[in-house]
Amino acid sequence: MRISCIGGGPAGLYFALLMKQQNPAHEITVFERNKPGDTFGWGVVFSDQTLTAMREADAKTAGQILDAFNHWDDIEVHINGRTMRSGGHGFCGIGRMKLLNILQARCVELGVDLRYESDVQDDEGLDADLIIAADGLNSRVRQKYAATYQPDIDLRQCRFVWLGTAKLFEAFTFDFQQTEWGWFQAHAYRFDDTTSTFIVEAPQAVWEAAGIEAMSKEEGIAFCERLFAKVLDGHKLISNASHLRGSAQWIRFPRVVCKNWVHHNGIAPVVLMGDAAHTAHFSIGSGTKLALEDAIALAWDIGDAQDDLDVALPRYVASRSIEVLRIQNAARNSTEWFENVARHAQLAPEQFAYSLLTRSQRISHENLRLRDAAYVARFEAWLAGGQAVPPMFTPFKLRGLTLKNRVVVSPMAQYSCVDGLPGDYHLMHLGARAAGGAGLVFAEMTCPSADARITPGCPGLYSDEQGAAWTRIVDFVHRNSSAKIAMQLGHAGAKGSTRRGWEGIDQPLGDGLDWPLISASPQQYLAGVSQTSRAMTRADMDRVRADFCAATERAAQAGFDWLELHCAHGYLLSSFVSPLTNQRSDEYGGTLENRLRYPLEVFKATRALWPADKPMSVRISAHDWVIGGTTPEDAVLIAAAFKAAGADLIDVSSGQVSKLEKPTYGRMWQTPFSENIRNRVGIATIAVGAISEADHVNSIIAAGRADLCAVARPHLANPAWTLSEAARIGYQGPAGLDWPLQYLSGKPQLEKEFERQRAQAQPAKKEEGVV
């Protein structure tokens, strides 16, 4: 097979040598526009897991790289005169030039044709069976065939400069400096016997305010030396970007995502690899890792397919695109963390450092414990204010209410009422979950009138009979558990009058059973299917507000510990908030302030009736996931408005406002919205969405991303989820953990079983990347 590689960086070189090693008969040429000794950047970082993959692919090359590595385990975080250190992270640093030299020499040894100072613009004129476009971040091949590759390039919000220094850092070091213009941060690590990488970064607005844009290159470096003088210990900073002038060496990181990676030019497939296909922010140290793993994967797939590219290339794209997406999701979280240091800097230094270590959401609480158990124990003791306790089992106090732990059973529709009346099923359902160890149990969304229901099976609180039924359930929970119980009040609006979930979710009732619907503006939730709602009049608003007030009084009489107003997911109050569903031209439409007017009216009226010593929260959709809809920035303003009106906590969800939504799913995928609101508005939050393990809850609470975590589907599968997860992580209590006396005899057996599983399990692998 004849292979041409455009670009002699890590991806192109490594793929070339692997293919030549795999079959010496392959004719492989690498075209590199620079000289052999030219490179930009300083050191690159690998984790232990990357090295394992390289050893399996080519032990000789991996051995040479390993011999040149500088290895360290510790991470240091410097902020506000404090230093926090944790260990066990397992990283290796190597100079980019040294890495390239090793790969170049190995290619020559195997017989790869390396052609330097060959500025091959694209695939034009290349006589090959396979063309690899490894021509980097600014790939000209990707640009030429953009219609096929469909690249999405997002310039991030921070400016950064890649420098070096003779100061030898013994730990991977993050140094944060607050200035009159804002926060600057440095990422520093040693990569050989004489030099460390030193990356300086700041948000674009801070960078501009500091005047760096107008500085010469030398002035910019001197600015950084003064700013980070303490951590540099008098050492100078060095630039190797001799081809750049002024502030051009300060760049914004471009996140590159390509929908397709293969283009057929009529002669040979042209395959993107490395930064040409995707990028991952340097803060998780995965750019070179991804490039090398691309090379490993494609070489393996070609060999496995016996050089049949029609078989190998689809396999390559299918497998690598999933892994790259996983890394890029983590990189996005990490990037956004560094773009918002000012928000996180409000945390205590201990929590700030923990938040940094877990910022990608790939490194969890238990993964940190695996790396450095002593660090986690110290942090847990600090967070608990005494003896070390897993964060999820620390108490939480709001107004006059104290929850024993941070686990919340989400409000989950059960569609099991008759005429809005909760019965024995609800007593069993909520009672079992209250006995299962959670600190707070939510009843499902309950409606203030019959026409406010989502389905005929949804509960209400619009009659004294319903109030009495709820009182029975609340009393049962209080008598038989130490959990608290919350009522969530909501009006379905345009999403009402539908079938029960298992009969066809969001489908209209039909057969003459539908009831009239109201919302902020006329709306049909499912185009061509749903009933069309009519816009609320002022009389409607007064009636609905009165219904909410009456339901609030009944909830108080029933003895609920907590009240939540549902202003999310496209239901009636949400339909006022979102510009997608509010097209009004009166004082209740237009600006966000106007759109919030009616939901705030309802909130203030109900808060005034709810007991002053009991908390009241608001659930919001922090992102509509539709262009033109509510954004996370809007969510901050929405939360601030409810806080000013007296809300104690914001229950932060997203979506379900429009069927046109395109969410980005993943584990704990909505947690960043919670953190954004909590640490910018200064209000307690509940995080929701794909939180399914104690590890998730511990990480979220410990990092200050939320005050409580709502767990939904896992509680449907296991009512005693909290008790079970405590046993799974080896926590036996007593803080925040309360087994029912009747079930206590089952506790030792469950704990022993999980202890046995932990002992038999292989040690968990550390996640890939810096942190």
* pLDDT above 80: residue 719: yes
3-class DSSP state of 135: coil
Q: Which of these, 643, 631, 488, 649, lies nearest to 571 by C-alpha position?
A: 488
3-class DSSP state of 396: strand
Strand partners, 686: 651, 708
pLDDT at 244: 81
Q: Are 652 and 685 in contact (CB under 8 A)?
A: yes
pLDDT at 762: 60
Both tokens of 38, joined, read 């030219």
pLDDT at 763: 55
Tell me which H or E stretch contains 618. strand 616-621
Q: Are 349 and 84 in contact (CB under 8 A)?
A: yes
How does residue 46 score in pLDDT terms, banded at 50, 70 and 90?
confident
Q: Tell me, what DSSP letter sits at residue 744?
A: G
Q: Are 599 and 546 in contact (CB under 8 A)?
A: no
655-681 average pLDDT score = 93
Tell me which H or E stretch contains 164. strand 151-165
Strand partners, 71: 92
| HEC letters along 24-80 | CCCEEEEEECCCCCCCCCCEEEEEHHHHHHHHHHCHHHHHHHHHCCEEECCEEEEEC
Percent of the chain with pLDDT over 90: 86
* pLDDT above 90: residue 153: yes
Q: Are 562 and 485 in contact (CB under 8 A)?
A: yes
pLDDT digits (tens, 9 = 90+) for 357-387: 999 888 899 999 999 999 999 999 999 999 9
* pLDDT above 60: residue 238: yes
Q: What are phi and psi of 236, to 5 degrees?
A: -85, 160
Q: How many CB atoms lie within 10 A of CB 758?
A: 12
pLDDT at 765: 44
Amino acid symbol at 321: S
Q: What's the CA gap between 578 and 555, in Å, rounded?
A: 28
Q: What's the CA gap between 520 and 536, in Å, rounded?
A: 6
Q: Is 571 a catalytic residue?
A: yes
Question: Radius of gyration (Cα) for the chain, nearest Å?
Answer: 29
Sheet of strand 43-47: strand arrangement? 43-47, 91-95, 70-72
Q: How many CB atoms lie within 10 A of CB 504?
A: 12
Lowest mean pLDDT among 198-207, 319-328, 390-399, 415-424: 319-328
Q: Are 721 and 419 in contact (CB under 8 A)?
A: no
How does residue 769 score in pLDDT terms, banded at 50, 70 and 90?
very low
Both tokens of 146, joined, read 């953009």
Both tokens of 368, joined, read 């940190």
pLDDT at 647: 98
32-41 average pLDDT score = 78
Both tokens of 769, joined, read 């990347």
Mean pLDDT of the chain, nearest integer: 94
How does residue 41 score in pLDDT terms, banded at 50, 70 and 90?
low
* pLDDT above 60: residue 770: no
pLDDT at 730: 94
Pairing of the two strands 237-238 and 172-178: unpaired
764-771 average pLDDT score = 48
How does residue 749 score in pLDDT terms, banded at 50, 70 and 90?
very high
3-class DSSP state of 238: strand
| HEC letters along 305-325 | CCCCHHHHHHHHHHHHHHHHH
Give buried/exposed letters for 232-245 (b at 16+ CB in 10 A, else e): beebebebbeeeee
Lowest mean pLDDT among 42-56, 67-81, 179-193: 42-56
3-class DSSP state of 152: strand
Active-site option among 462, 571, 598, 731: 571
Percent of the chain with pLDDT over 70: 98
* pLDDT above 70: residue 45: yes
pTM: predicted TM-score of the whole model, two decimal places: 0.92
Q: What are phi and psi of 53, to 5 degrees?
A: -65, -40
Q: Which of these, 621, 684, 624, 673, lies nearest to 650 by C-alpha position?
A: 684
pLDDT at 104: 96
Tell me which H or E stretch contains 717. helix 713-717
Q: What's the CA gap between 333 and 750, in Å, rounded?
A: 36
pLDDT digits (tens, 9 = 90+) for 402-429: 999 999 999 999 999 999 999 999 999 9
572-586 average pLDDT score = 98
* pLDDT above 70: residue 117: yes
213-233 average pLDDT score = 97
Sheet of strand 262-264: strand arrangement? 113-116, 27-32, 2-6, 130-133, 269-272, 262-264
